[in-house]
Structure 1
């Protein structure tokens, strides 16, 4: 994990970043790109001082030029820099010497090209300045009309509230602005390489602005996860949700993130764990990120997951049901009184249900469509939706009344109301604008709509749960990279873990088949016989494991066969667990940015087949471990599946907690840990870790 700046320096940089966001004077250093950026100030109506700096020109976009930043009439609040890498470093050093608070570096060619030395020089030149970039398109404060960014193409609208987007990618910034989503935008931060100022700093600056409804994050990688956790918690405490889209979840994506902005993308599972820990909503696609933000920008987050839906198609109703199940949205069945009332106001060929297909007989009749959904509102719910298809061009006369019907529905309820279009493009601007003016959210595309409603409802539940325990946990373990020094043997691994309270079976290390028989006789049959040695993993694949050996001849034969395998000189005899109701795998993964992750999953041979895992960041708590276990698909095996005995979940949580304690105690040297599996016995009988592998390391030199 990268070291956080000293508290005083961090506080100064964030105060300086606030000056950038609210700049009243901006200097632009460069030529063609500076001219474009200056034209943006004019287009948006920036009311402060604008200065141009270019030693080779007399003016840039009509603004007289100064030869150097040292010649400016006063110290600028912010400076836009678009010159060569060498001149960029010189300019930042000059600004720092002048006491300038901030700069945006458009220039590329630093760490994203592999040149870490140039970036280190830039960092040294910046001192306490808030420098955004390099390799970025800039920062825009739309609310106050302050653009320090490349082009007026990023928009000149100035809403009184909106959502902020913080992204390392300039293209993602542009995509948000160019999208046809009727989404008010408060700020844009293009962070680029995050050499000096990081995503966490931008989050911190926006956290206490009441005009910012939510903060959207496009993350390729974090430089300082602890600083990010603290900023995210500050945003949480101010009631400002964070919605994140993580790039680099594939191997190729992680490689491209490194070449794009010089960011180490990190494990997607660990980032998911970080988001869960901090109460951050995770978006899976960019359109979902935008649609989710509408719920917060227009005060439309459902307080629960019960949704009433009206359609005019049996196909749409069926698809709604499929999507609702997929995304955790409850479509409550209508109670008999409500069902009868609805039946009286819909066509006779329609069926009173939820979702409600009013059929084409009612389509285009504003009053009739509104009455049907308003009547449904007698059923307890958390939100109401009308699903429509709408032409993106041409004559919409016959379609308009369907959208307008939602105005009457909204007038009859305080619940969030959505118009959901079948496809993203089926929502013309006039319709989105008209609905938004009445507090109705247009969700574009059924898949994204249901994903956002489900995630919005879960956010409310998880936010309240975090608030009940005092807010998110911000502590993360600091994990510097290690040089691998090898694996401990299974016997040594289990011995060390057992010292921290992990239950392990009675065992004996044997040199001969006769020793194995005597050990089995002493501990009682049946037993397991395994090959033993350091660096010996995946023993089953090598034929070095024999289980359920119920007599001495079987033990002797198994030990003899295993000892005959190349490279195996000893066998481990373990008492066998015969009454397990489930197997759980536990692992520890080290990450230089995010610390240590604790992985839980369905164990045994199903581990790689099911991919049924959950990950927590350390340190963690028994309560968090219990929640994570409950999210596994295999958890139902622990609750008495199909009349099987329930598992000892309490003992399992204690065992996993002991593994977490071991990892924290060995944070300086633990490279990786795998326990596959922990055998979960019936309730009251405990658990047993029957196989373990610990890999250690030493600090890199």
Structure 2
């Protein structure tokens, strides 16, 4: 029997990317809409990946050409088997690489030479393993992909789905609905991506594309996100991330999705130290802190979920409704107890049930009768016992009320045929179709979907159907927050001066240790516009006293050494010095303590600094995140910073407006703007410090690992940095950190 020969046409060519979309988007389109598929490594061995993928392509009736290749076989799976690419009846288009890892690089190069446009490398044995041979093969594969220009997913992946093409190059043997759904999924873990697809399908949500990216030797998850953002058939993008390798590509893809009005719902590995270690072991990804990921990705419109159940509910919420115009909730229930649960759950999430309009309240009161309580959410249970039509009429009044933005219906879908309930659900679906607001059914518990439930759910696309009150509330919160985002957020660039950048380059060129000492750190900060306390370095006790008199008492004495990162730990800081004698004694005491240290640090002198009276101690800082790049930090500082943990992060650089937003996300920000009758503090100095630090870490372009300004002291008249530490991103810094 001959293999399935294609007609030479792409089957579902309803959309094609524009010519200026670039080679990556064009390559992905070729991969998901190929003219033919070639399986290299075809074998009759029962249950192997090649056979399972072949069976799926036949089962779902892929209409393009299907060609197995195995140099040692004439037939396989009952069809003709080809020796090589040259013997195929047509030029290869999409190639599935199923040979052992040591042969994969050769196959990729030969496929490209034969005219293939894309490939999926199912084979494992590359960078996910730590041995020298696997790492060598990984490097060779990446070079081959780069040099040939093939659009490649994998290696170490489980295949893809393109529902419109009836293409399922995947090993999964569970039933798949080949409907061109509105959801696209991509991610590094094939098992998790396939589980997400199955769970969405079980809820009656169609998946148009599913791509497993594996080790990402070629295409990375952000590349797929950008493609899905451009494809008009997709409404919601779901991703599983073990790590972000290319921060710029990720952020650009998020911006493209946001501009297209498509939420990116992300399940991110690495919310714990153990999770970050697992990401390293699985794909070699270098995971950064989840707080940094949230700070940067949320600004770009990403919705990070904490687990698979939350992912499914959030996806359901975005697939079946447009974003609301506001946050005014209305709800209808038939139980006083459930009404209480709704109120508690939504109020705990910072959401409120809004007062109804006078017209809506009047209609409800007239319908419910004398003595009835018209509340929101409405408990219509008692009235519905007397008149069952009250329930549906109440829902309509809520939907029609111009003072509501989202209508919550406390009810679950039936597991078996139920004429009355199903008729009511369809009526509400019609109401929602005519309304310009989300209508959301919530089951307060997860009751599960039967085949009957799934069929019913598919028949009512205008309403959201959610399982589990807490997850539903979280998803609705995300829906409201997403609606409030601007579609287009401008990229921020450093606003530093040429003089500041020149000093930075000079300082970094001359730096040799793990960190800059306090004097050098503060000099750099001052150049970047960050307010610094009055201070000078002394080499003798007498010089220290003279400096103190010039600054004015009280002063602080601090050791200056690039080898001492935490001065307080060795007694290198003395506060509240109010006379020349006290300054001289502090100088001598610090020198003596340093000389007793076994490490024998380099001593550059003692810093005598103005002691600023502070109403609040802040921490401002910046760091280079392993995944997301430069970030800036603000929060409550001092010795209790780890205990209080009142900090917020943002991607760097920031402008004054972004800095103010960052400040407002903390309790420290509340105090700065005046709390419980206390006067406001000098917020402008904190804003200036944040902008300057963000410019500094951005300008360093990876050469500075972190900048710590703790404390930054602030009062009603001023704010100044009284301590600073710039840690360099060099071998000395890594050795000092124990790497």
TM-score (norm 2): 0.84
CA distance in 2 between counterparts of 1:23 and 1:680 reads 62
Choose from 611, 628, 642 the match for 2:645.
Answer: 611
Task: Judge conservation of contact 2:181–2:205 (CA < 8 Å) in 1.
Answer: no
Residues 196 and 376 (structure 1), Cα distance of their counterparts in 2 relative to 1, 3 Å cut: closer
Other-structure match for 2:77:
61
Choose from 109, 118, 127 the match for 2:137.
Answer: 118
SS in 2 for 1:415: coil
SS in 2 for 1:565: helix
1:521 maps to 2:549:
yes
CA distance in 2 between counterparts of 1:472 and 1:307 reads 34
Other-structure match for 1:449:
472
1:128 maps to 2:149:
yes
CA distance in 2 between counterparts of 1:687 and 1:66 reads 75
Other-structure match for 2:311:
289
CA distance in 2 between counterparts of 1:498 and 1:523 reads 18
CA distance in 2 between counterparts of 1:48 and 1:354 reads 56
- Aligned-pair distance for 1:187? 0.3
Residues 612 and 598 (structure 1), Cα distance of their counterparts in 2 relative to 1, 3 Å cut: same
Other-structure match for 1:16:
27
Residues 642 and 132 (structure 1), Cα distance of their counterparts in 2 relative to 1, 3 Å cut: same
Task: Judge conservation of contact 2:654–2:690 (CA < 8 Å) in 1.
Answer: no
SS in 2 for 1:501: coil
Task: Judge conservation of contact 1:484–1:671 (CA < 8 Å) in 2.
Answer: no
CA distance in 2 between counterparts of 1:472 and 1:368 reads 52
CA distance in 1 between counterparts of 2:112 and 2:150 reads 7
Other-structure match for 1:310:
332
Render the CA deviation track for 1:272-318: whole Å, top value 9, x for unaligned: 23313422222232222222222332234223222112233344333
Residues 404 and 13 (structure 1), Cα distance of their counterparts in 2 relative to 1, 3 Å cut: closer
CA distance in 1 between counterparts of 2:668 and 2:347 reads 19
Other-structure match for 1:221:
243
CA distance in 2 between counterparts of 1:560 and 1:474 reads 46
Other-structure match for 2:233:
211
SS in 2 for 1:150: coil
Other-structure match for 1:252:
274
1:545 maps to 2:564:
no
Spell out the pairing of 1:131-210 with structure 2 (5 A cutoff).
Answer: 131-153=152-174, 155-179=175-199, 180-210=202-232
Other-structure match for 1:571:
606
Render the CA deviation track for 1:620-641: whole Å, top value 9, x for unaligned: 3222222222222321011100
- Aligned-pair distance for 1:436? 4.8
Task: Judge conservation of contact 1:505–1:690 (CA < 8 Å) in 2.
Answer: yes
Comparing 398-407 with 377-386, which one deviates more in the overlay? Answer: 398-407
Other-structure match for 2:684:
650
Task: Judge conservation of contact 2:383–2:390 (CA < 8 Å) in 1.
Answer: no
Choose from 116, 119, 122 the match for 1:106.
Answer: 122
- Aligned-pair distance for 1:185? 0.7
Task: Judge conservation of contact 1:230–1:474 (CA < 8 Å) in 2.
Answer: no
Residues 305 and 284 (structure 1), Cα distance of their counterparts in 2 relative to 1, 3 Å cut: farther
SS in 2 for 1:123: helix
CA distance in 2 between counterparts of 1:62 and 1:621 reads 66
Residues 136 and 489 (structure 1), Cα distance of their counterparts in 2 relative to 1, 3 Å cut: same
CA distance in 2 between counterparts of 1:365 and 1:541 reads 75
Residues 232 and 395 (structure 1), Cα distance of their counterparts in 2 relative to 1, 3 Å cut: closer
CA distance in 1 between counterparts of 2:374 and 2:704 reads 61
Comparing 195-204 with 543-552, which one deviates more in the overlay? Answer: 543-552
- Aligned-pair distance for 1:327? 3.1
1:70 maps to 2:105:
no
- Aligned-pair distance for 1:13? 4.4
Unaligned runs of 5+ in 1: 1-7, 476-481
CA distance in 1 between counterparts of 2:386 and 2:161 reads 42
Aligned residues: CA RMSD: 3.3
Choose from 346, 364, 368 the match for 1:324.
Answer: 346
CA distance in 2 between counterparts of 1:472 and 1:312 reads 49
CA distance in 2 between counterparts of 1:341 and 1:326 reads 30
CA distance in 1 between counterparts of 2:491 and 2:263 reads 13
Task: Judge conservation of contact 2:514–2:730 (CA < 8 Å) in 1.
Answer: no
Residues 503 and 612 (structure 1), Cα distance of their counterparts in 2 relative to 1, 3 Å cut: same
Other-structure match for 2:497:
none
- Aligned-pair distance for 1:576? 1.8
Other-structure match for 1:4:
none
- Aligned-pair distance for 1:339? 4.1
Other-structure match for 2:486:
463
Choose from 543, 556, 560 the match for 1:532.
Answer: 560
Task: Judge conservation of contact 2:305–2:311 (CA < 8 Å) in 1.
Answer: yes
- Aligned-pair distance for 1:514? 5.2
Unaligned runs of 5+ in 2: 1-18, 495-508, 598-602, 735-739
Q: How many residues align?
A: 681
Comparing 441-450 with 57-66, which one deviates more in the overlay? Answer: 57-66
Comparing 195-204 with 271-280, which one deviates more in the overlay? Answer: 271-280
SS in 1 for 2:486: helix
Comparing 415-424 with 552-561, which one deviates more in the overlay? Answer: 552-561
Comparing 404-413 with 367-376, which one deviates more in the overlay? Answer: 404-413
Render the CA deviation track for 1:210-242: whole Å, top value 9, x for unaligned: 111121111111222222333333333333332
CA distance in 2 between counterparts of 1:366 and 1:644 reads 56
Comparing 558-567 with 485-494, which one deviates more in the overlay? Answer: 558-567
- Aligned-pair distance for 1:511? 4.5
CA distance in 2 between counterparts of 1:554 and 1:289 reads 62
1:83 maps to 2:99:
yes
Render the CA deviation track for 1:24-46: whole Å, top value 9, x for unaligned: 21111233322211111122221
Render the CA deviation track for 1:161-208: whole Å, top value 9, x for unaligned: 411001111111221122132211110010000001111221232222
Other-structure match for 1:235:
257
Task: Judge conservation of contact 1:81–1:103 (CA < 8 Å) in 2.
Answer: yes
- Aligned-pair distance for 1:144? 2.6
Residues 272 and 668 (structure 1), Cα distance of their counterparts in 2 relative to 1, 3 Å cut: closer
CA distance in 2 between counterparts of 1:592 and 1:618 reads 14
Other-structure match for 1:499:
527
SS in 1 for 2:653: coil
Task: Judge conservation of contact 1:420–1:442 (CA < 8 Å) in 2.
Answer: yes
- Aligned-pair distance for 1:374? 2.9
CA distance in 1 between counterparts of 2:158 and 2:289 reads 27
SS in 1 for 2:671: helix
Other-structure match for 2:49:
33
Task: Judge conservation of contact 1:363–1:369 (CA < 8 Å) in 2.
Answer: no
Residues 271 and 219 (structure 1), Cα distance of their counterparts in 2 relative to 1, 3 Å cut: same
Other-structure match for 1:479:
none
CA distance in 1 between counterparts of 2:572 and 2:671 reads 28
SS in 1 for 2:169: strand
Residues 101 and 537 (structure 1), Cα distance of their counterparts in 2 relative to 1, 3 Å cut: same
- Aligned-pair distance for 1:521? 2.8
